[in-house]
Amino acid sequence: MLIHAFDPTDFMVCHNLAIQPLIMSPSCIASVDQGVQAIHMRVEDLSLEAVREGQLYSALTPRARVFLLGFMLSRRMTITDGYGSQRGWSSEDLLIRIYGAELQMEEVRRRVAPTAPSRLGCIWVAEEGPASRAMLSRMFGTDRRIVSVAIVHSINLLRADASLYDRFAETGDLNAAELYWQGHELNGHWEILLDGAIRITSDDELQMLLQDCRDAGHCMPSPT
């Protein structure tokens, strides 16, 4: 069994889940949506320079959105809300560090594991268990709802030890980044990078997640 941490403040995630209990990677969306297909380019097919400059051409995963925020903040770009007001970020330094770390991880992936899915174009899932739930709780605190999911479509995937990513992000140890992409184990905090689609397997968990979305202020259909 697998689990995934959903963000109920993410309108697009909530909107999509209200339509059907599926979350898809950009490549998967492009295979069924002609509008996305018309602009879609896999991260894996972009030049590293394009990725460095935030030139991502497709639907954006949650990690890709964080990456782009970090890119814009690193370039001192002005970020506004839907009303044209400039937005401030209490975690600017963290977002910029994530941008830098993910850019380096993408460079290492291309060198060490070029057939693996990019962290910027995939869905994250973890194996069910106390260690995985604790890992997700440490990563997101109470900001995410952890639910049971199943993989319903797989274009590509990689099973990697997140503790190796943590070591790289904290220390800059490129050897840890290489071991991550090679599938080696450090502390056994396994995550699966999935280019594909997942489905929430429990209707009770889905309804609780949709209620979280409503509580976050999103206009959602009432539960049936």
pLDDT at 133: 84
- For residues 59 and 189, the answer to whether their CB atoms sit within 8 Å is no
pLDDT at 90: 53
pLDDT at 22: 92
- Give how far the C-alpha of residue 14 lies from the chain's centroid of Cα atoms, to the nearest Å: 15
pLDDT at 3: 94
* pTM tops 0.85: yes
pLDDT at 13: 87
pLDDT at 6: 92
pLDDT at 159: 97
pLDDT at 203: 94
Mean pLDDT (10-residue bins), the chain, 224 residues = 91 88 94 94 98 95 92 78 52 90 98 98 91 78 86 98 95 98 95 97 94 88 55
The DSSP code sequence of 139-176 is HHTTSSEEEEEEEEEEEEEEEEEHHHHHHHHHH--HHH
